[in-house]
Amino acid sequence: MGRPAAGPAGTWLATLRKRGTERFELSSGPGSTHSVTSDGDVTVLFDGLLYTRREWLRDFSLPTASDASLVLHAYRRWGEGVLERVKGLFALIVWDGGKDVLLCARDPHGMHPCFYADDAGDLFLSASAEALARHPRIPGAVDRVAMADHLCHRWPKLESTYFEAVRRLPGGYALRVHEGTRTIARYWDPIPPGRPIDYISDEEAGQFTELLDQAVNRCLPGGPAAIYLSGGLDSVSVAALAQEQLHDQNDGSLLALSLVFEHPDANEEGTQRAVATRLGLPQKVVTVGDAVGPNGLLADALEMSATRSAPMMNLWNPAYAFLARYAAEHGCKVILTGNGGDEWLEAGVHHARLALQRLDFATVYRLWSCMQRSYPYSRGIVARNLLWTFGLRPILGEGARSILGRTAPEALARRERWRFAQTTPAWVAPDPRLRDRMLERYRAHKRAARRGALDNPMVAYELEEFYESGRHLGIPLLHPFWDADLTAFLARVPPRLLMRDGYSKGLVRQSLRQKFPQLGFDRARKVTASGFYRSVMIREGVEAWKRMGGAQALAELGIVDGLALDRHMNDLFRHGDAGLSGADPGKAWQIWYVLTTEAWLRPRLVRPAP
């Protein structure tokens, strides 16, 4: 096992050396955009977007200064309390040699990546997991347990990456090193665990529009901007506010970038064009097929996955990359998205679990009624998800684990082994030792608190993928619905307000009804691309699997049983679209996860020359 021959450009690497003479060192690759400054014993690195820049320039009476210099001034004034005051999308490091303190923090939701690794007491930090994995002092081996869990659609550890020696600093956390002692703790948490949620009142709900307006404004660069405009509530809400602000600032029009999915259940072209026309937006509309190369969407996605620092999760990235390049060619500095609306505007299934624990059946009924109106799912599927899959089953499971852990630990161990086996395909981890390590991690993190989008490893990977897509394309992708001030507010909105008028995302539906009275946003159901996704997996997956010749790299590392997986994949393809729909939609995800993980692993499986 070796390491990739080339690492990512445009990133930095910081080292806190404890061996020999203690010192703090920084190096950067070509194209790096971070800023660094030193003053006496204090050195600061800031990488990202600083929302408090104007405020701090005024407060510190500075006509101009780098972002790092502003953070240094803030640290001089507030010490480590600076983390409670800095706002933006960032990774930052403060090294105070006089106090022998290193402070490394990441923005509240982890929009900007940050990772770390160790060697013989020295600490290495970077915005790129790949850069750390290729460092000569850090083992570059992939994490077989993490990759096997990934194939099971399971991410039990927030700090894990796909490299054994590299760990994630989660969003909203700070790493602190003082006299050789290291701690990692949350510095930002809108709903601290163990405390009742301080829900907002109906009167306070009016602050939502102001906070979303502020979030959109923070993402506008003071020049041309674009937006990925679907026909959904989230991106339309952002587009309407962004266009108003650009008009008020005389910064021109927002460029609408609309991707059309060629499937009857997912095609929103009519709504996309109507919204752009109503807002007066110039618009680029392209179908998925026209946006990708002649080999097709899946082939382009697998080629793209091989270049990323983690197996790619979003199949549609190649098509969106086409639109991003178009925006860059037309002078846009950023692309806004509606990402985050599903996580923060909806009364989700986790609300059902909380309501069932309180025996609040009225809220459970309202959730069921709201979700069956708002989503293209049957009443039975919605009821099963609310009452059992995400409701009673986890509640009963937690209770059973608690009781069995005290009275019958051996029975608990058997139960956990059984549940683990049920959620782990037979072709994953043929090596019993690897399975044992997976089971150990499964048990250790089974009791992790469920807090929606907070502390969710899958969300962490998705946000890091957005960042990496923007870095590769040279144009940042920014997401107003992930603004920390906005989400701190939304985390305290009670379900009944999120379900205002009996539909999901009630906070945005009323304003959209007023802006677009003819488009029916007040009663619109969510459009999903799951049918199109399945058809791509069948139509293009067979040829992709043949070209690969099976999961050779995954099998070589013992992550899968190659022959068993080959039989499983061929069985999925043989049954076609009918076999991937209905009762087990996860089968389509299995095809994608196997293909993209194999594509990512191959260039990282370097064999010695004969």
Whether 260 is in a domain gets the answer yes
Q: What is the pLDDT of residue 587?
A: 82
Q: Which of 145, 160, 186 is the last residue of a domain?
A: 186
377, exposed or middle or buried, with CB in 10 Å at 0-12, 13-18, 19+? Answer: middle
First to last CA, the chain: 14
| Residue with the larger pLDDT of the pair 445 and 565 | 565
Q: Do 53 and 18 reside in the same domain of the chain?
A: yes
What pLDDT, on the 0 to 100 scale, is given for residue 10? 65
End of a domain among 155, 186, 217?
A: 186
User: So what's the pLDDT on residue 7?
Assistant: 45
Residue where one domain finishes, among candidates 435, 467, 487: 487
Q: What stretch of H or E contains 258?
A: strand 255-260
Any domain includes 478 = yes
Query: Are 238 and 149 in a shared domain?
Result: no
Model confidence pLDDT, tens digit, residues 505-542 = 999 998 999 999 999 999 999 999 989 999 999 999 99
Report residue 564 as tokens: 């068993």
Residue 406 lies in a domain: no
Half-sphere exposure of 23 (CA within 13 A, CB side): 4
- Asked if 49 and 105 sit in the same domain, the reply is yes
The SS3 assignment for 493 reads coil
Q: What pLDDT score does 608 carry?
A: 42
Residue 299 covered by a domain: yes
Res 580: pLDDT: 52
9: confidence class by pLDDT, cuts 50, 70, 90: low
Flag whether 160 is in a domain.
Answer: yes
Indicate if the pLDDT at residue 1 is higher than 50.
Answer: no
Domain membership of residue 108 (yes or no) is: yes
Domain coverage including residue 281 = 203-304+314-338+456-487
- Which of 254, 238, 188 is closest to 455 using CA atoms? 188
140 and 288 part of one domain: no
pLDDT of residue 349: 81
> Does 173 share its domain with 274?
no
CA–CA separation, 53 and 66 (whole Å): 9
Same-domain status, 31 and 74: yes
pLDDT digits (tens, 9 = 90+) for 355-408: 998 899 999 999 999 999 999 888 898 999 898 888 888 888 888 888 888 899
| Same-domain check for residues 579 and 466 | no
Same domain, 159 and 59: yes
Q: Considering the domain boundaries, does residue 386 fall inside one?
A: no
Cβ neighbourhood burial of 468 (10 Å; 0-12, 13-18, 19+): buried
DSSP element (H, E) containing 44: strand 42-50
Please tell me the distance from the alpha carbon of residue 256 to that of residue 368, in angstroms, as a whole number: 34
Confidence bin at 609 (pLDDT 50/70/90): very low
Domains of the chain: total: 3
Shared-domain flag, residues 463 and 546 = no
Residue with tokens 């082994």: 417
Task: Round the average pLDDT of the chain to a whole number and report it.
Answer: 91
- Give the H/E segment covering residue 439: helix 432-444
Highest mean pLDDT among 41-55, 240-254, 337-351: 41-55
pLDDT of residue 304 exceeding 70, the answer is yes
Region of residue 394 (left: phi > 0; alpha: psi -120 to 50; beta: else):
alpha
CATH code (residue 24): 3.60.20.10
Residue 342 CA to residue 214 CA, distance in Å, equals 19
Domain at 272, CATH number? 3.40.50.620
Residue-wise over 139-170: b if at least 16 C-beta within 10 A, else e? ebebbbbbbbbbbbebbbbbebbbbbbbbbbb
Distance in angstroms (rounded) separating the CA atoms of residues 116 and 90: 15
Give the pLDDT confidence score for residue 2 in this predicted structure. Answer: 36
pLDDT of residue 606: 60
- Helix (H), strand (E) at residue 374: helix 361-374
Residue 153 sits in the same domain as residue 296: no
Please report whether residue 521 resides in a domain.
no
* Both structure tokens of 193: 């665990």
pLDDT digits (tens, 9 = 90+) for 159-217: 999 999 999 999 999 999 998 899 999 999 999 988 888 999 999 999 999 999 999 99
Tens digit of each residue's pLDDT (9 = 90 or more) over 428-475: 999 999 999 999 999 877 655 557 788 899 999 999 999 999 999 999
* Shared-domain flag, residues 180 and 217: no
Question: Looking at the structure, do residues 331 and 468 belong to the same domain, yes or no?
Answer: yes
Q: What is the mean pLDDT of residues 2-8?
A: 40
